[in-house]
Amino acid sequence: MQTTQHCKYQNNFLTLNHFSEELLQVTIDFLNSKNLLLNANKTNYLLFYLKNFHFNDASNFEISIENSILERKKSSTFLGLIIDDQLTWNDHVDHVCNKISSGVYAIRKMSFYCELSTLLLLYYAHIHSHIQFGLIIYGGTSQSNLTKILIMQKKAIRAMLKITQNSSCRNKFKDLKILTVIIIYIYIKQFCT
């Protein structure tokens, strides 16, 4: 049974490798017809797999174009979204939290000089925009990832209102008419698909 499974996966890897290189060649031909070149040094690929299932033969899997072997990565940025090989979105959420952190810092510094209406503009420009970008795609991530973003939203609200770190923000979201990341995801999923 074990040998049969191994052969089955080995055969799938050979098929996948052949199919990938064929599609890559079609892409190269298309780009060449448009007088464009594919830079093999900047091109990489991901091999997606389930969290609980690892391929033993994946280390031998290689895709090459024009005598250059492409780099296999655990995560890669595509159109502003960081996609990882297990589709957990952990790297992307960490990236979003870093962006939000910069926005929180700006709000905290500007809170001494600006009115609440201006701070709300800063929130929507430097925090909400990062949360909403691609949320329809990465919003199905784990609850812990969405909680990380929600905690950053709470930090922003506390900075805008100059309240203590352990103050509740539940009613503050309503008062400021700010949607939480979870509500934004539900809204986008229901009304924009």
**Location of structure tokens 């870093």:** 98
pLDDT digits (tens, 9 = 90+) for 65-113: 878 888 888 899 999 999 998 899 999 999 999 999 999 999 999 999 9
* Measured distance CA(189)–CA(30) in Å, rounded: 34
**Location of structure tokens 């080995």:** 10
Q: Give the gyration radius of the chain's Cα atoms.
A: 22
Is-contact 179 156, C-beta < 8 A?
no
Is-contact 91 82, C-beta < 8 A?
yes
Is-contact 121 137, C-beta < 8 A?
no
Q: How far apart, in Å, do the first and last CA atoms of the chain sit?
A: 44
Query: Rounded mean pLDDT of the chain?
Result: 86
Q: What is the mean pLDDT of each run of 10 residues along the chain (193 residues)?
A: 43 78 89 89 83 64 81 90 92 96 95 94 95 92 94 94 87 92 91 74
Facing residues of 95 across strands?
none
